[in-house]
Amino acid sequence: MALCRRTLLKVIVLGDSGVGKTSLMNQYALKKFSLKCKGTIGADFVTKDLQIDNKLVTLQIWDTEGKETFQNVCADFYRGADCCVLVYDVNCFESFDILDSWHDDFLKKGNTSNHGISPFILLGNKVDIDGGKSRVVPEKKAKKWCASKGNIPYFETSAKEDFNVDDAFLCIAKTALANE
């Protein structure tokens, strides 16, 4: 009988410090959330096994963990990434404004195989805060940005409430598999 081989997919998560990157990864892979998670769960990556259609895959999701200015993220981190997840906080305009820089930095340094499929996904996180009353980046604006970058898939998430996290990562896994 043939061995069931798992396909290993590398996913990297980029975005400003504090937007919830570590929290999203931990919520998805470990089903854990902490309001004081900074530095407490300091893994380089988390893994999650899943099945997409008939394919068994392992997502290896890498965290920048404290090196969150793009000048500090080295090419090694980007190398071989099958999907690049960009995260901003819908309550913080600066974290949205800097997405261009993260996006361009990945294109510059990331050496992805070119299948003509965009490796990017955008997550607008922390939609739970104040029931949305303190948000400063409208959904429309985020979608417009995604359209301008060649139709990047967009999800609004809350790592805290576990809202849309599984759906977002399923899309991430499919994108990674398509780029593998």
Q: Which residues bind ligand GDP (CB under 6 A)?
A: 17-23, 34-38, 125-126, 128-129, 158-160
Is 17 or 51 the residue whose CB approaches ligand GDP more closely? 17
Distance CA 26, CA 3 (A): 30
CB of 136 to ligand GDP, least distance (A): 15
**Two structure tokens written together for 16:** 């400003």
Q: How far is the CB of 113 from Mg ion (least distance, A)?
A: 27
CB 75 to ligand GDP: min, Å: 21
Q: Which does 103 bind (CB under 5 to 8 A by kind): Mg ion, ligand GDP, none?
A: none
Choose between 30 and 147: whose C-beta lies nearer to ligand GDP.
30
Q: How many CB atoms lie within 10 A of CB 1?
A: 3
User: Please, what is the minimum distance in Å from the beta carbon of residue 36 to Mg ion?
Assistant: 12
List, as own/partner pairs, every contact residues 37-41 make where C-beta atoms lie below 8 angstroms and the sequence separation is at least 24, other chains included: 39/66
- Cα separations in angstroms, 119 against 87, 149, 153: 14, 11, 10
126 binds, among Mg ion, ligand GDP, none (CB under 5 to 8 A by kind): ligand GDP
Q: Among Mg ion, ligand GDP, none, what binds residue 174 when CB lies within 5 to 8 Å by partner kind?
A: none
29 touches 46 (CB < 8 A): yes
Residue 13: C-alpha distances to residues 16, 17, 106, 150 (Å)? 10, 11, 11, 19
Task: Report the partner that residue 17 touches, choosing among Mg ion, ligand GDP, none (CB closer than 5 to 8 A by kind).
Answer: ligand GDP
Cβ distance to ligand GDP smaller for residue 129 or 170? 129
Q: Kindly identify the residues of this chain, within the stretch 11-50, that bind Mg ion according to CB under 5 A.
A: 21-22
Q: Report the distance separating Cα 34 and Cα 74, nearest Å.
A: 28
